[in-house]
Amino acid sequence: MDFQSLEKLTAEKYKKHASRTFNYGTAGFRTKADDLETVLFRMGVLAVVRSKAMKAHIGMMITASHNPACDNGVKIVDPRGEMMAVAWEEHATVLANAEDLQLVASVQQLLQQENINQQQPAIVVVGRDTRPSSDVLHAAAVAGVRAVGGQVVECGVVTTPILHYRVVCANDGGSYGTPTNEGYSKKLADAFLKLQGTGGSQSRYSSELQFDGANGVGGCQMSIMAPSLAAALTITQYNDGKGDGVLNYKCGADHVKTTQSWPGGVPATAGTRCVSVDGDADRVIYSFLDSNGAFHLLDGDRIATLIAGYLKQLLTRAQVSLKLGLIQTAYANGASTQYINGTLGVPVGCAKTGVKFLHHMALDYDIGVYFEANGHGTVLFSDAAKKSIREAAAAGNSVAERLCSVIDVINETVGDAISDMLLVEVILKEQDWSVEDWNKQYTDLPNRLVKVLVADRSVISTTNAERSCVTPAALQPAIDNLLRSTEFATANARAFCRPSGTEDVVRVYAEASTRELADSLSTKVSQLVFDHAGGVGARPK
């Protein structure tokens, strides 16, 4: 590797941000876009080194997902579409924070430490979202890749799931799909139409839905795909990014989930399903208004239970014996966990927050369904499971043939809002369910998710899949005492706190038997966090 170009660009254009320290977290680097240009340049360098180490294509996605439009970020994607290996997160942090004159030495040390052949070719697949800052940051990333001799495969403006899909396809010779943006769209649309057929609505199921694109790249992608889906779905788009709407502002999956309210910019039409995606289209949330105008949320828990129940039905009908499991996080509503275990009879695991942790645990099953309550999730099929299903299909098993098409409509590489939406629509039509029917599967416990501003989120550490607080030492006993109090002891109450992976806040989740008790518990736990963990600003009330 020749480092002259790296040294020159570092000295002349991409100097280290003097006042910031960056940490590669759950979602990569994510912060104010104005602070990230040099970080993106250096992550282009890291992606080349990772590509050489893995002897494979590596992905770079420039996005801040559901964050405000003023933020941006970057994450590195490994060859099988998974998040970059945890062991390399420290390497990313080191390079991002190295002094300018030490950058080349830091890269050389990494090459030596990982015993990497510097002559190995390196190819980096790069995508970006629609944020105003993404073009500048994309240029910095590409400059970093090329400064150390890497090749760039341009995806353009794409959803995060498309970037992951393209990395996988580039590395497996195209067996997963054609490694183009068009290949992704065609694979999903073809599989969906094969499952869904034409003819639209049934007695209970309606083919009409409203699509809330969060004024982001998900709206762009749906504009591309909607015409090819029109034979089976009537999609009306809102917040599609073509007007004056602001990315993720009062719309999109994160807004709908956290505020538990109807998205702005979407007509309040009773009985019609609304599908909301987030800024990079890797999260999906359903919602609807009933005949009285009351808002109802169908989040990642609801989607996961719908999918798991459907897959269990198909496996039973196909007489294919495979181990099916569902992975949630601590944010999953307690009612959903009880329903999955008790009614569906599907084993449930709890993982730390972060897709990489759920993904890893889902690999323990032949078929692993994993979803966060925020709507980020997918389904993984082991090679052995696919082989069993395909053999049954080849023997003339029509249900197994349907399972093969279900596998094709699922983007196994990462949570994918559009792929998940298509699978939900397949299930609802086959069951002939309205959105109200789906909502009747179980009744959510009232819950509240809030943020507490703190000076330093690292003072909070957790265990037990983030359901118990370790530090500050007095915080968890205080929460336990609160839950044992007269107010909450018989209220089926649960609460926990965890540090955000992307900003200096502590997230507090609370649920209880009534809305009033859930809100009260949320406020009181937030006050405990504020008092014990260095709260900033006004004390929660």
Digit-coded pLDDT (tens) for 76-87: 999 999 999 999
User: What are the start-end ranges of the E strands in 390-459?
Assistant: 447-453
The overall average pLDDT reported for the chain is 95
CA–CA dist 38, 97 (Å, integer):
10
Annotated catalytic, 65? yes
* Band of pLDDT at residue 177, cut at 50, 70 and 90: very high
Q: Binding site for substrate: which residues?
A: 372-374, 498-502, 507
Identify any residues that bridge with 210 across adjacent strands, giving them in sequence order.
Answer: 236, 274
Could you list the residues known to form a binding site, using ranges: 65, 278, 280, 282, 372-374, 498-502, 507
Contacts 24+ apart (CB under 8 A), 137-140: 137/33, 137/36, 137/37, 137/40, 137/62, 137/72, 137/74, 138/40, 138/62, 140/14, 140/37, 140/38, 140/40, 140/41, 140/44
Point out the catalytic residue in the list 51, 65, 134, 405. 65
Radius of gyration (C-alpha) of the chain in whole angstroms: 23
Q: Is the pLDDT of residue 199 over 70?
A: no
Return the CATH number of the domain spanning residue range 3-157.
3.40.120.10
Q: Supply 504's token pair.
A: 């200096």
- How far, in Å, CA of 288 to CA of 274, rounded? 6
- Which residues are part of a known binding site for Mg(2+)? 65, 278, 280, 282
Q: Where are the domains of the chain?
A: 3-157, 190-200+207-298, 300-413, 447-533
Give 199 or 515, the one with higher predicted confidence: 515
Within a 13 Å sphere around the CA of 157, how many CA atoms are in the beta-carbon half?
17
Shared fold status for 190-200+207-298 and 447-533 = no
Residue 26 CB-density burial (10 A; 0-12 exposed, 13-18 middle, 19+ buried): middle
Q: What's the rounded Cα separation, in Å, for the pair 163 and 158?
A: 7
**How confident is the model at residue 198, as a pLDDT?**
56
Span 282-308, pLDDT tens digits: 999 999 999 999 999 999 999 999 999
Q: Indicate if the alpha-carbon torsion angle 467, 346, 188, 183 is positive or negative.
A: positive
Per residue in 111-152, pLDDT (tens digit) is: 999 999 999 999 999 999 999 999 999 999 999 999 999 999
Q: First vs last Cα of the chain: how many Å apart?
A: 57
pLDDT at 200: 58
Q: What is the CATH number of domain 447-533?
A: 3.30.310.50
How many residues does this entry show for the chain? 541
The matching CATH number, chosen from 3.40.190.10, 3.40.120.10, 3.30.479.30, 3.90.1170.20, for 190-200+207-298 is 3.40.120.10
Domain 300-413 sits in CATH 3.30.60: no
Grade residue 201 by pLDDT with cuts at 50, 70 and 90. low
